[in-house]
Amino acid sequence: MPLTPLDSARQAALDAIAPAAPERVPLLNAQGRFLASPVTASRSLPGCDNSAMDGWAVRAEETQGASRDRPARLRVTSTVFAGALPSTPLRPGEAARVFTGAPLPPGADAVVRQEATRAAEDGACVDIFITVPPGNDIRRAGEEVLTGTPLFDAGQRMGAAVLGVLASMGDTDVWVRSAPRIAVLATGDELVPPGTPALPHQVYESNLVLVAALAHEAGANVRQLARARDDERALRDALSRLAPQVDVLITTGGASVGDKDLVKRVLAALGARFFVDGVALKPGKPVAVARLGDTAVVVLPGNPGAATVAFDQFARPLLLKHQGVLETRRRVRAHLSEARHKQAGLTYLITTTLEARGGLAPRAVLRPQGAGQILQNVHGEGWALLPPGRAEFAEDDLVDVELFDRPTFTPVGALA
């Protein structure tokens, strides 16, 4: 069977899942989730003119010419704290003691910070030592946002700052897409659970932790972690049991064409519909995406390095689409740090760090990489993309680097 080009395979794989229905959840439960609908400001921020400093509310014109030698002396009429309403308006020749966040008394048009003043011991008056303009140290009503202003689009990821803004509007809950429920099934007779003795020919099963952590980073709710031997009956029982419990089932191992690579065969026997089966990608070529009943299934290779790449390119987009968004990563052009030979028909994704070079394009420092290796991904900043159609890449050749940090998220359907 011919391998599907990477871009075409990713697009085809997305058809295996649909966005989840929106749900309304408490704000703190929404962290890391994606807005299901746009949000507009239900009130202005700030809600009223208020003091930006601890100091004195005054009429600005009455501070003109004030200095330490010739202070402007004003009569103190009241004290206003944050959360309190001024009891009296400010008349000519008067000042009101105000604290940060306190509403301004009617008639006041400026605040003098307390460091530029001296109050009388009896509190009856205050000397102002500086001239201030109208509006000095005042936070105007609505200067941050006005009632009815669009705040966030659908697809906005709910970080701490976004949650803080919604709380400042008085919101207690918000409409988001539900987190995908997932199960991870690791297969392989060579696998030994961590924490138990392992002989040299055996392999500690790291993919359950690796894939569960990658899924969590993509917003998923990991419900089940399971292991199965390279045995058709064991695999059939595990797949039949896990799939109905989750939105996405991710398997690792048994994905290729060896005698004990049984996962795809068992899925087909169970009636799974395949959207992708083998991709022109390295590492991660055996990856497959299918649907078993109502559950999307992603079949990852067993080697941790290959599983990481295949998860990133196929499982992660599915998990994000369930949450109603498509991810776009930043790309930069960079010079390769070394020559590379590759299979001409495949796209290679190589873990990379970027090295700045003044005003020149950065240097893509390729990290040692193999399908069974994962240490190279620690501190990696992105993938160097070596496209199909070429077998030889020389040192200093320019390539695209897809960066992991600061992606953008677009609501599903907005790009149509």
> 366-399 pLDDT, tens per residue?
987 655 567 777 888 999 999 999 999 999 999 9
Asked if residue 296 and residue 169 are part of one domain, the reply reads no
Q: How confident is the model at residue 416 (pLDDT cuts 50, 70, 90)?
A: very low
In a domain, 416, yes or no: no
In a domain, 97, yes or no: yes
Q: What is the pLDDT of residue 206?
A: 81
pLDDT higher than 60, residue 51: yes
Residue 213 CB partners (closer than 8 Å, separation 6+): none
- How far apart are the C-alpha atoms of 90 and 140, rounded to whole Å? 18
In a domain, 290, yes or no: yes
In a domain, 56, yes or no: yes
Domain region containing 170:
25-44+152-177
pLDDT higher than 90, residue 217: yes
Asked if residue 240 and residue 195 are part of one domain, the reply reads yes
Give the CATH number for residue 37: 3.90.105.10
**Residue spans of beta strands (DSSP E) within 178-270:** 181-187, 191-192, 203-204, 221-228, 248-252
Asked if residue 345 and residue 289 are part of one domain, the reply reads no
8 Å CB contact between 104 and 81: no
Q: What is the mean pLDDT of residues 103-124?
A: 96
| Domain-terminating residue out of 275, 303, 323 | 323
Note the pLDDT tens digit of each residue in 123-163: 999 999 999 999 999 999 999 999 999 999 999 999 999 99
In a domain, 260, yes or no: yes
In a domain, 95, yes or no: yes
Q: How confident is the model at residue 198 (pLDDT cuts 50, 70, 90)?
A: confident
Give the CATH number for residue 278: 3.40.980.10
CA-closest candidate to residue 163, choices 300, 35, 10, 351: 35
Asked if residue 156 and residue 30 are part of one domain, the reply reads yes
pLDDT higher than 90, residue 321: yes
Asked if residue 54 and residue 35 are part of one domain, the reply reads no
Asked if residue 187 and residue 124 are part of one domain, the reply reads no
CB atoms within 10 A of CB 193: 11
Q: What is the pLDDT of residue 368?
A: 73
Give the CATH number for residue 62: 2.170.190.11
What's 45's DSSP letter?
A: B
In one letter, which amino acid is 59? R
In a domain, 413, yes or no: no
